[in-house]
Amino acid sequence: MSIKEKDSLYIANTYARFDVEIVSGKGSYLYDDKGKEYIDMCTGIAVNTLGVADEGWIAAVSAQLGKVQHVSNLYYSAPQAELAELLCRRTGMKKVFFGNSGAEANECAIKVARKYAAEKKGAEYNTIITLVNSFHGRTITTLAATGQDVFHKDFLPLTEGFKYAVANDIESVRALVAEGGIAAVMVEPVQGEGGVMPLTREFCEELNALAEEHDILIIADEVQTGNGRTGELYGYMALGLRPDVVSTAKGLAGGLPMGACMMNEKTAGVLTAGSHGSTFGGNPVSAAGALYVMSRLTDELLDEVKEKSDYVFSALKGKSGIKSVSGMGLMIGIETERDAGEVIAKCIENGVIPLKAKNKVRLLPALNIPREALEKAVAVIIEAARI
Ligand SMILES: *Cc1c(COP(=O)(O)O)cnc(C)c1O
């Protein structure tokens, strides 16, 4: 049986896979089972921050693997403590809880918000406002947080206590706040799965003020936008949003599973011994990978992300078959005249792997993608979108 046959026979049918089997890679290049080369504009959905097989990252992760691969959270372990310190120093947040995925980081954020509100305002303040078209994960609670009915269908009843406002429409948030019982507002600085749509600075500033007025927490879901993706270390920094809780995952450890929920001075004391936990959370190998990724996310690299972003926006704008370009940093959505799926298929045929977000072609390349590879990929995308 071929890999494709085994996959369809034995793996749960949750993914509509593209007809490509990736076997290896180097930097921003991937190779399939037939040896065909692709420029990677997906990075495993914003996970391989420094591309594939980065030598420094391999050395950092291998060194930790040679020491101990897992330590229970019943004991102290240096890599997670060092990583938590670094995250706090670079964000101004005060404490970190480590999990293994984006959904878990958001579960933690939701638990923190509910406990904070229950203790401070009363148990009836348990509702979290999220946005229409948001994506916050696949667990029953993060599905409830996800403001898209298509994901809810067939899984009802979901966790109670979520209401949906409209992105960049502060009046829609205000109306829900007026209904009472609100613990927090949870937003993605740039909606990823929802079509690569950034929040506006104005909306973020109004949200800061509204949250402060009503003692409502702001949760920034930085699972996709975090760790340099937007050209700032975290997307909220680019928008002037002032979150009390920040969740992140995807690119944090550069390719290993890791999620983090960061809490500011207001929320740092909410979680107490026994109130939350994770067996794998803060795994030393993942933490070593994340420490290395963080060491590479310098101001120079972040400036490079912004420059490359400017290049992609200006190269794509106004080209035949391209209706609009949205996003921030190296998180870019392209609205095409032709069906996005068709454009993506054409790109893959021509050796470039982008991905999809709603009806858009989405680009999430490695932050250190060489300029030459980026230019080649953009040329292929332009050609594939041409009408
Ligand atoms: C991918 C994503 C998640 C879910 O992360 P998993 O690691 O798949 O659980 C949550 N929020 C956002 C914004 C995401 O992009």
pTM, entire model: 0.98
Confidence grade of residue 193 (pLDDT, cut at 50, 70, 90): very high
Q: How far is the CA of 102 from the centre of ligand 1 (A)?
A: 4
CATH of the domain at 210: 3.40.640.10
* Any atom of ligand 1 within 6 Å of the Cβ of 224: yes
Residue count of the chain, please give it.
387
* Any atom of ligand 1 within 6 Å of the Cβ of 105: no
pLDDT of residue 167: 98
Domain extent, residue 168, equals 57-296
**Does 380 lie in the same domain as 270?**
no
At residue 161, what are phi and psi to the nearest 5 degrees? Answer: 95, 30
Confidence grade of residue 89 (pLDDT, cut at 50, 70, 90): very high
**Does 274 lie in the same domain as 362?**
no
* Any atom of ligand 1 within 6 Å of the Cβ of 102: yes
**Does 318 lie in the same domain as 277?**
no
Instruction: List pLDDT tens digits, range 122-158.
Output: 999 999 999 999 999 999 999 999 999 999 999 999 9
Report the number of distinct structural domains present in the chain.
Answer: 2
- Final residue belonging to a domain, choices 243, 275, 296: 296
The span from the CA of 271 to the CA of 348, in Å, is 46
Confidence grade of residue 329 (pLDDT, cut at 50, 70, 90): very high
Which residue, judged by its Cα, is nearest atom 5 of ligand 1? 102
- Final residue belonging to a domain, choices 263, 296, 329: 296
**Does 332 lie in the same domain as 254?**
no
Mean pLDDT calculated for residue range 195-219: 98
pLDDT of residue 339: 98
Confidence grade of residue 183 (pLDDT, cut at 50, 70, 90): very high
What letter represents residue 377's amino acid? A
* Any atom of ligand 1 within 6 Å of the Cβ of 188: yes
DSSP string for residues in 37-106: EEEESSHHHHT-TT-BS-HHHHHHHHHHHTT-S---TTS--HHHHHHHHHHHHHH---EEEEESSHHHHH
Which residue, judged by its Cα, is nearest atom 11 of ligand 1? 136
Mean pLDDT calculated for residue range 162-187: 98
Q: How far is the CA of 319 from the centre of ligand 1 (A)?
A: 31
pLDDT of residue 307: 98
Cβ-contact 28, 369 below 8 angstroms: yes
Which residue, judged by its Cα, is nearest atom 8 of ligand 1? 102
Tokens representing 171 are 């009046």
Q: How far is the CA of 34 from the centre of ligand 1 (A)?
A: 31
Give the H or E element holding residue 327. Answer: strand 322-328
pLDDT of residue 6: 98
Mean pLDDT calculated for residue range 99-120: 98
Q: How far is the CA of 386 from the centre of ligand 1 (A)?
A: 32
**Does 197 lie in the same domain as 135?**
yes
Mean pLDDT calculated for residue range 90-104: 98
Torsion of CA 94, 98, 99, 103, to 10 degrees: 20
pLDDT of residue 286: 98
Give the H or E element holding residue 263. Answer: strand 259-263
- Final residue belonging to a domain, choices 242, 268, 296: 296
**Does 158 lie in the same domain as 85?**
yes
**Does 273 lie in the same domain as 152?**
yes
pLDDT of residue 375: 98
CATH of the domain at 9: 3.90.1150.10
Instruction: List pLDDT tens digits, range 269-325.
Output: 999 999 999 999 999 999 999 999 999 999 999 999 999 999 999 999 999 999 999
Instruction: List pLDDT tens digits, range 220-246.
Output: 999 999 999 999 999 999 999 999 999
The span from the CA of 170 to the CA of 173, in Å, is 5
Report the atom number in ligand 1 closest to the C-alpha of 101.
Answer: 7
Confidence grade of residue 13 (pLDDT, cut at 50, 70, 90): very high
Looking at the chain, the number of H-run helices and the number of E-run strands are 14, 17
Strands (E), 150-242: 162-165, 182-187, 190-191, 197-198, 217-222
Q: Which residues pair with 147 in a beta bridge?
A: 132
Q: How far is the CA of 360 from the centre of ligand 1 (A)?
A: 18
